[in-house]
Amino acid sequence: MGSLQPAKSLIGKHSSFRSLKEVELEWDRQFEDHPFGVDYGRLENGLVYYVRRNPKPKMRAALALAVQAGSVLEEEEERGVAHIVEHLAFSATKNYENHGIVKFLESIGAQFGPCHNAWTSFDETLYELLVPIDKPELLSQAISILAEFSTEIRIADEDLEKERGAVMEEYRSGRDANQRIRDAYWSLLMGGSKYADRLPIGLEKVIRGVTSKTAKQFYQKWYHLSKMAVIAVGDFPDTESVVELIKTHFSQKTSASNPSPVPNFHVPSHEQPRYSCFVDSEATGSEVMISYKMPVKKMKTIKDYRDGLVESMFLTALNQRFSKISRRKNPPYFSCSLYADTLARPVRAYIMYSTCKEKGTLKALESMLTEVSRARLHGFSEHEISIVRALMMSWIESAYLERDKRKSTSLRYDYVQHFIHNEPVIGIEYEAQLQKTMLPHISASEVSKYAEKLQTSCSCVMKIVEPQSSATIGNLKKVVSEVIKLEMDSNISPWNDEQIPEEIVDIKPNPGNIVKQHEYSNFRATELILSNGMEVCYKCTDFSNDQIIFSGFSYGGLSELSESEYLSSMMGSSFAEEIGVFGHKPSVLGDMLAGKKVRVRTRVGNYMRTFHGECSPSDLETALQLVYQLFMKYVTPGEEVDLVMQRTEEYIRAEERDPYTIFRNRVTELHRGNSYFFKPLKISDLSNVNPSKACEYFNSCFKDPSTFTVVIVGNIDPAAAIPLMLQYLGGIPKPSEPVLHLMSDYIKGLPFNFPTTVVREVVRSPMVEEQCWVTLSFPVELTKVTTVEEILYLDFLSELFETKILQVLRFKHGQIYSASVSVNLSGNMPHRTDDMHGYIRIHFSCDPKISSKLVDIALDEILHLQEEGPSDQDVSTILAIEQRSYENGLQDNNYWLQKILDSYQSRIYSGDIGNAFQVHEEGRSRIRESLTQLTTQSAMQRIMPYPCKNQYTAVILMAQPRASKWLRSALLWKPSDRDTKILAGVAGLTVLAFSFWRHSRKS
């Protein structure tokens, strides 16, 4: 049996997919163990390395240390230790103390944060860094950090005690309904194996009580260099020097001479299905999950690759059906999907997942099983498979065209999978050849056979999730037996395909013409004024070979509406999307677009109406046809309205069950007042929705092209693109009377009513497991004279606050896992002539017992920054973070799209986006040059309340005390006579309040 490695000479770097030659297929030939396109080897101490040169992003390197050790290796007293070791890696090592690694990463503007730099799974632990390498010493130091992780993590009592709180908070913040559902399902899936009870987060008692000795023993036992790999992908001058750096930092490292072999943990199969009915009062909705487990099969040969393609076609074909069913009248579910996933090293599964209306789980389960049976009985039609084939061909074509534009982080992922799971890396060029050769010859009957793998005897696990119990395991078993009988009796009819129109646009419009054209040399863009009044600005880039993105906007939105109009109009977008905003139902349009890379979405916001799209350069005409249809077609209410109303009702019920939503709504009310724009939607509100008015409003939103500005960015060939713009954008007729023709200066603003004093509140909500979230907010005010620069200052301040809050609350006190700081100015965006108002928000979760104390510590830190200013190192850090973000943005189409949109929507825009762009760039440079301890301090005193403790809101979400806990404390309390009378009155009120609460929950 020969080995197979793609020949580089077969494929020219810039040859098109359509001219790509097919390959001869020898089914038994094996892929090389050596991954394609990378320097790959092993050091004498056992460490594996992967090094690849890749220019995107420029002057960046994506690094990783992969360790074949995860939570499944833990003993009972170690449950959670693998994850704790991962945390301790960033706390202290031999050469870095007191979170010195974090400080280094921040100082060079590298990405750092929870879930960004490391994660622990059942079978592996991964450390990742994305670092700038514009200075030679940075790459060396980053690789040295990975070397520290391999053998030099310091695990001492003081390190462990400092990090316990952060790990505990990560554990606590994850104990919501979604996590409980996932954990319960995992235990059901993996029952009978060690994987079932080795969740990486571990046990609370271990997190709180494990000793440093136990953690160190795990580290020394399982972190062996022979079980590790270093991956380095980046914009290197050469790979040889990077390999030498790896050797320099790792060659002298040593591990135990006799490493413990990693055991293989068996996951038993079972012929009888496993069932579960999971009830959680905080569940976001009703769900059905069905899984079919099987052993992992390694992809070694060409035949294995083809089998994987057939499987992908089956999954896609069945998902196409699920999607269409979800859009029918009174569907059994709102969404349903099927996918394959590797659950752990020895086992993978086909997983079907659906969301449905309350008490609808049995109907959803029946439909899901019936569709699998239908596929077994009747298979898929050639028409369905032709659509699937076109979809998959377009996916691989796009990947092939972008082969030299892949990001280093994506390539890093491939090499991690090669090391951890032995997945072959054969190169996108060769994969494209294989798929182009194979896909046309895979038949519908061959795809249909995969339904045999989804039998209830194939280690099947079925689980339903409900907020209130309505189904039993007996009900589930009955549904299964009924569907099996229908299939055995062949009482399931074949699938009935919809008729698909051939053309998106029935009659192509007469092209418009260019009235005015302007070139903006400072950011290399061209602006066109079309004969129907529409403005179009396009920028040609080479960041991606197969991407064009665009966005159109017009001023005027929901803020203009009265309270009587608002509710119905707000629902207009939801109705329109389901009816079909482009003249075709979504299920039909999906088939029409098969084989094309096109997506267009619409949005009606408070101040603007927008559409956004993305397409391949070869599909630009189709994308612009959809925009043309958006303006030309009217949506009218039909049976789709009922589906939208059902979904909305379920969404509202889910929101009412969610403690965090109650908390978020209170924060919004504090800052926005009691405006109808910000009130949470209630089920009783739905009876006041008028679908006809909703559709009428939506139709008016996208009718007048003269009010719209469209920005297009990407791999544009102007010679081909401009005629298409003129035909489908310029061909939109301008109405005889202006429709929603609003200028930004005169748009109605939404209320902003930040309290003028201090507000500290605790919001209590019933919770299954106790959680606590804190939001600390300060108002900000920007004067109209200096708005542009003040907004930039705010960005720097938010970065500074996030860095300092993490330093104090996590790294110093060890009491939070993460914190986020954000700025909200959205309520003021359209006004060019008024001062701007908004707020800056600090958000974190913590132990409820110390939440108020942590608010005070955060306030003290902000006040200290206002009074003393940040350190020079703080200023240097935030400048580095901003600069690295800016450099990355310059290489991204989405950045430039937003930059041009911001120029049009800027307060200083007066018809010349080049000038607005220049003012912003000069303002950024000016602030960067002048940013010091004093200027930053001055900005904090000027933009925010000073001192900050004079005006802020602090809202804390806590669990509602349980009646049993309250009663227990009451029994231990010995009241006086006066207390007895008070207690009797309180008890009466409590019973009344509880009765009302119970009634409100039922309704």
Q: Which residue in the list 78, 124, 148, 163 is annotated as catalytic?
A: 163
Torsion sign, CA atoms 858, 862, 867, 872: positive
d(CA 624, CA 552): 11
What's the N-to-C CA distance of the chain in angstroms? 69
What count of Cα atoms within 13 Å lies in the side-chain half-sphere of residue 43?
25
Backbone angles phi, psi at 670, to 5 degrees: -60, -40
Three-state SS for 302-347 is HHHHHHHHHHHHHHHHHHHHHHHHHCCCCCCCCEEEEEEEEEECCE
- Are 335 and 287 contacting, i.e. CB atoms less than 8 angstroms apart? no
CA–CA separation, 867 vs 884, rounded Å? 29
Give Rg (Cα) of the chain. Answer: 30
DSSP class per residue in 823-881: EE-GGGTT-SSSPEEEEEEEEEE--GGGHHHHHHHHHHHHHHHHHH---HHHHHHHHHH
DSSP 19: G
Q: State the DSSP code for 809.
A: I
At 590, list the tokens: 């999906």
Show the CA angle centred on residue 924, arms to residues 918 and 930, nearest 5°.
130
Instruction: Check: CB of residue 635 under 8 Å from CB of residue 579.
Output: yes
| CA distances for 123 relative to 48, 67, 996, angstroms | 17, 9, 49
Is 818 in a helix, a strand, or coil?
A: coil
- CB neighbours (10 Å) of residue 218? 20
**Beta pairing partners, 602:** 611
Q: What are phi and psi of 819, to 5 degrees?
A: -145, 145
The bridge status of strand 286-295 relative to strand 347-356 is: antiparallel
Is 86 in the active site?
yes
Full DSSP string of 507-547: SPPPP--EEEEEEETTTTEEEEEETTS-EEEEEE--S-TT-
Whole-angstrom distance, CA of residue 839 vs CA of residue 752: 10
Length of the chain: 1003
Write out the two tokens for 327: 């859009």
Which residue is associated with the tokens 């330093």?
Answer: 807
What is the sign, positive or negative, of the torsion defined by CA atoms of 180, 184, 190, 192? positive
Please give the backbone phi and psi of residue 550, each rounded to the nearest 5 degrees, phi first: -150, 160
Residue 426 sits at φ, ψ, to 5 deg, of -110, -5
Which candidate in 86, 106, 124, 148 is catalytic?
86
The C-alpha atoms of residue 539 and residue 808 are separated, in whole angstroms, by 44
Catalytic residue check, 163: yes
Q: How far apart are CA 997 and CA 1003, in angstroms?
A: 10
CA distance 440 to 450: 18
Question: Distance between CA 872 and CA 934 in Å, rounded?
Answer: 10
Closest of 682, 698, 603 to residue 641, by C-alpha: 698
Within 10 Å of residue 136's Cβ, how many Cβ atoms? 11
**Does residue 227 contact residue 261 with C-beta atoms inside 8 Å?**
no
Task: Tokens for 922, please give them.
Answer: 């000069």
Alpha-carbon dihedral sign for residues 781, 782, 785, 790: positive
Q: Quick one: tokens of 247?
A: 């050797």
Which residues are bridge partners to 277 per DSSP? 464
Task: Indicate left, alpha or beta for 503 from its phi (over 0: left) and psi (-120 to 50: alpha).
Answer: beta
The C-alpha atoms of residue 367 and residue 486 are separated, in whole angstroms, by 12
Strand partners, 231: 50, 64
Q: Which residues are catalytic?
A: 86, 163
